[in-house]
Each structure stands twice: as structure tokens, then as C-alpha cells.
Amino acid sequence: MTGMSRRNAVTFAIAAALTASVASFASAQDDSLTVFDWSGYEAPEFHPGYIEKYGSSPTYAFFGDEDEAFEKLRAGFKADLSHPCSQSVVKWREAGLLQPLDTSKITGWADMNPGIMAMKDLATTEDGTVWFFPWDWGNTMLTFNHEKVDEKDVQSLKSLADPKFKDRVSIGDNVDDAYALAALAIGMKDWTTMTEEQFQQASAFLREVHKNVRLYWTDNTEIVQAMSGGEVDLAWAWNDASIQSSIGGAPIKGKKDTDEGISTWVCGYVHLKDAPGSVEKTYDFLNSINTPEVAQYLLSDWGYAHANAKSLASVDPATLTEMGYDDVEKFVDKTLFQSPLPSELKLKMIAEFEKIKAGY
């Protein structure tokens, strides 16, 4: 079986047991460590060293986006590790949801990519305390079926709002990706400086996109299925949508060279405050994902880069250059990087996106 089919087999089994949103667990798990994660990251290829040592994967619980995860954790849900992206770390830390990481227990911490680690508010506070373990980084980009859509018709992100694509579009049910798209569409590269007027322009654009949306996807499996099965032809999606669809033989292509560009994000793991599980297993898990073997799988099957420079260097240099991961500064220079937003602006985005999806 391919990497895609292995992962989907696990994900489909989990999806069948999902209730409303979050609290679903995979089988054959180690209940002394719980990882609160995006669906799909439970794949055993992501933590082979942990399985080798303990005989099974950790327990996994899943969330649809980081705001959902944040609210569940604030309400008292207990886990040991979680997997937010950089724009959420400050919010989670300030809410008292995190405890510092002991980097002396993380093998290869000194090998983390300096370009990633230098990004503002990403991993450490001014006193040197480390709160975030950067792990995967990549893009959200225009993604399309090249057998049904002429590439010249999707040179702009504004094509997502073109009436010709009515009922053929999907974007993520994720406020960060949605407003990253909207900010790019109105000509912004730094969303932290968004004015009230620009916020209204961005929201108006998302309302136009909503008219074309067939579905708001919630995880990688859903958008891969929708595109591979022909349910939608045009999407705003993560790298893995085109990679996994292509592995499955579907004519899906990610487009990095739109007029307005793409969005870049960095995600990783945090140690949750009052974590109930084993501290030793927490760090064994972090070490198991911080290896060349995992970096190669992350890139080949998901299209994402590993934040450990030494592990990423194990990948063929030509492949890294082709995918743009050979130079972090160059990679983010012409993208909208999803850095932390002012809390007032983020709350406005959350409230407005809910209205947009409801048709208001």
C-alpha cells in the first residue's frame, strides 16, 4: 500500500468513530501519553522510535483547528502534548495552557533550523524560556484539478470568488487560513498590520468566495477525497492535498506562483500544563519525531519541511531546492507568514468567519 492509503486506512477508521468534533482515540495506543493533534498525524511513520521503544503509539485525540483545541483545553480537557501553529502559541501561553520545554531532553535541539528559530514569538520568550518545539512547516496555496481547470484561469487567488467556479470550490474551516487567503487577495503580506478598512475588505472577499464554496474542509483526508473524487475542482489547501492526491493518481496540482502569492506557516508541539502522562514518554515522543527518517516521510508523503536542519539535510538537495525548502528566508520572503495576531483582531476574525460560513 502507498503512504497515502496506509494513512487513509487509519484516518477512515478514526473518522467512523468521531462524534461531534474532538474526543476520538485510535486503537492500540499507549494510554500513559496523550497527544492532542490534527487528524492524520497519528500515522506510525511519524514516530517510529516511540513505537520501537514502547510497542505502540501514544493515545491520540483530535481537533479541527487550533481555536477549537484552545477552547477545549480551557474547558479542562487533559493531554500531554499538542500541535498548534506559530500564530497560536502566544495565545496559548498567555492563557496558562503551557509549561516550558526542557530542551536538554530533546535530542538534536541544537540542530534546529536557525531561520525557523529566529522567527518572532516562535519558540522562546525574552528570558530564554522555550515554549514551542517547531516541527513542520509549509504552505497553504491555490490547488486545482488541472484536467478540469485551465491554469490561466487561476492565476489569481481572486479566482476562488469567480462565479464560473460556483459550487466547485473548497477552503478550510480554519479562520487563520481563511484570513491569510483574504489578506493576500487584498494585497497584504503582513496581516498583523490589518486596519479596520482592510479587515472589512478581507471579509467582503471571503463572502464572495462563500458563494462558490461547496464544502469547508476540516482535515487533510476530507479535502484529498473531495479533490480526488471530483467533488471540488479548486481549493485553498495545504501542501499535502496536492501531494497525496497525486500519490493516488488524481490530476491535482498546487500553484505557488499566483499573482498574490501563498501563505506560510510553522507548526510544532507544546507541553501542556498539568499534563497527566509520563514526562519520560513525552520527551521520547519528541525525540522520535525529530529524526532524518521522519523528515523524509514528512516531505515525500505530505510535502512539508522538517524544522530540524540536520534531519532535513538528509533529503535529496535537488528535491529541497525544487520545493523551495533549501532557504527559509527566501521561502517566506514573498509569502504571508502566519505570525501571531493581535488578540482583538483574531477575535474579530473568528466571529466574522462564523457569520460568513452561515451566509451572513
pLDDT digits (tens, 9 = 90+) for 341-351: 888 999 999 99
Among 265, 36, 65, 21, which Cα is nearest to 174's? Answer: 65
pLDDT at position 111 is 94
Alpha carbons 240 and 332: distance in angstroms, whole number:
18
Among 4-8, 60-64, 186-190, whose mean pLDDT is lowest?
Answer: 4-8
pLDDT at position 23 is 40
SS3 state of residue 36: strand
Distance of CA 176 to the CA centre of its chain: 10
| Residue 126: band (very low, low, confident or very high) from pLDDT cuts 50, 70, 90 | confident
Q: What is the pLDDT of residues 192-218, one digit of tens each?
A: 999 999 999 999 999 999 999 999 999
The whole-chain average pLDDT of the chain stands at: 89
| Residue 327: band (very low, low, confident or very high) from pLDDT cuts 50, 70, 90 | confident
Q: Where are the beta strands (DSSP E) in the chain?
A: 29-38, 57-63, 81-82, 98-99, 133-145, 169-172, 213-217, 234-238, 252-255, 263-272, 305-306, 336-337
pLDDT at position 99 is 96
| Residue 4: band (very low, low, confident or very high) from pLDDT cuts 50, 70, 90 | very low
Q: Domain 138-263+336-357: give its CATH architecture.
A: 3-Layer(aba) Sandwich (3.40)
Backbone angles phi, psi at 124, to 5 degrees: -125, 160
Among 159, 108, 116, which Cα is nearest to 134's? Answer: 116
Q: Domain 3-137+265-333: give its CATH architecture.
A: 3-Layer(aba) Sandwich (3.40)
The CATH 3.40.190.10 domain(s) of the chain lie at: 3-137+265-333, 138-263+336-357
Alpha carbons 242 and 254: distance in angstroms, whole number:
6
Cell of 51: 513505537
State the pTM of this model: 0.84
Cell of 112: 534546529
Distance of CA 47 to the CA centre of its chain: 18
pLDDT at position 121 is 63
- Please indicate whether residue 270 or residue 27 has the higher confidence score (pLDDT): 270
Distance of CA 35 to the CA centre of its chain: 16
Among 26, 29, 28, which Cα is nearest to 13's? Answer: 26
Distance of CA 353 to the CA centre of its chain: 18
> Is pLDDT at 13 greater than 50 in this prediction?
no
Cell of 307: 524544522
Cell of 86: 506559530
- Please indicate whether residue 8 or residue 352 has the higher confidence score (pLDDT): 352
